[in-house]
Amino acid sequence: MSTPRTARAVTGTVLAVTLLTPLTACSDGASGNASSAKAGTYSFWDPYPQFDASSPWGKRVTACGAQADVKIKRTPMDTTDLANKALLAGQQDNLPDVMLVDNPAVSTLAEAGILAKAADAGLKTTGIQKNILDAGTVDDEPYGVPIGANTLALYYNTDVLKKAKVDPAAVTDWKSLTAALAEVEAAGSKGITFSATKSEEGSFQFLPWFWGAGAELTDIDSPAAVSALTLWKDWLDEGYAPNSVISNTQTTSWQEFATGDFAFAENGTWQLANAEKAGFEYGVISIPAVESGPAPVPTGGEFVTVPVQSDTGRYRTTTKIVNCLINGKNLLATDTTLSYIAPTARVQDQQVRENAGLQAWVDAVAAARGRTSGGMNTDYPVVSEQMWTAVQAALSGAQSPKAALEAAQQAARSKTGN
């Protein structure tokens, strides 16, 4: 197996990864030993501290180790902690054998020389949906395999819309969505809630509107970008969205929707279990683009990756462990556990057969794009930080949407050189 890139020049990339805050889960402060463990033990890092060893996910990891005739030492930790610890472990030549990495961090870790190319690791990528694979691809080379994908759509409260005489199927563009919010407000309910917090969650939630306007991350102060931020600002000014969106995380935004007072909530597949427990009938529609059709939404989810090892003899067993996790049979169970949409059409079809309500999410994932795709790679964290800073400035009234985005573009260009 060849080593990706060249040196382990990771010191300067720590900041880039710290900007990629997690979209789900909280840290439990765990840490773990890497591949210096005895030959019969393989270390495995993942960003799922919410799943202990007795969970379906924990059991799946253990079973894949057993299938490869080794013991797995699994260390779950917060998404950002994992990426930062990987950078430090790379400096110390003490990386784990397997890592599940949040897809925006893949390019940063690959550029740092920490991750092996999928092809070099013996990982198969045939059959994987291209837009999902692109989220972990650098210079046309995938660094790992996506275990699944999540993304964003609009949940709606059926009762609130019926009361306002709004047909969710008629919401197909920004004009019809804004008109629906006005009808909901006139009927005495609340319009829409989302997350615009000053973190990656805020950028993640803004991207469908940004891309849906026709804007690109290389030009974040374009007229299209300004129209997207103006849409959000107008909703706040009209009272269609609450001022709490400025500080809302995706969790607190969901909690607002769960009160039953709101017509719409922008949120992700990870809320499906909570939606079933909400106590009211709900549905899901795509986030609309400015004129018509679904807007591109950002791809969330993790890649199973193989970190570079000085002891190359470990790779054969590592590949067995990874291939066990991503084979079709196990992938269905894993993605169901994680509330992910599978990265292959075959397993997606199985998911929809078991739960027809997932079709809207399969469609949303099909329209999704990677945040680091299109050559953004390690520039994305810098651009994202400036984006969420601009959103905060505009929604709080500190600057106009145009001025906020112009300042963001200037700051991003000064840091990336692009």
Q: Domains, the chain, ranges and CATH? A: 11-150+301-366 (3.40.190.10), 152-297+376-416 (3.40.190.10)
Regions in the chain scoring below 70 on pLDDT: 1-39
C-alpha span between 210 and 111 (Å, rounded): 27
What pLDDT is stored for residue 50 in this prediction? 87
What pLDDT is stored for residue 37 in this prediction? 43
What pLDDT is stored for residue 278 in this prediction? 93
What pLDDT is stored for residue 195 in this prediction? 97
What pLDDT is stored for residue 377 in this prediction? 87
What pLDDT is stored for residue 39 in this prediction? 64
The bridge status of strand 152-157 relative to strand 282-285 is: antiparallel
C-alpha span between 204 and 331 (Å, rounded): 25
Residue indicated by tokens 């974040």: 220
What pLDDT is stored for residue 367 in this prediction? 87
C-alpha span between 248 and 392 (Å, rounded): 11
C-alpha span between 78 and 310 (Å, rounded): 26
CA terminus-to-terminus distance, the chain: 33
**Residue 392 identity (one-letter amino acid):** Q
Q: What is the pTM of this model?
A: 0.84
Alpha helices in 27-101 (DSSP H): 56-67, 79-91
- Closest alpha carbon to 103 in 75, 127, 129: 129
**Residue 384 identity (one-letter amino acid):** S
Residue indicated by tokens 């993942």: 46
What pLDDT is stored for residue 162 in this prediction? 98
C-alpha span between 167 and 172 (Å, rounded): 11
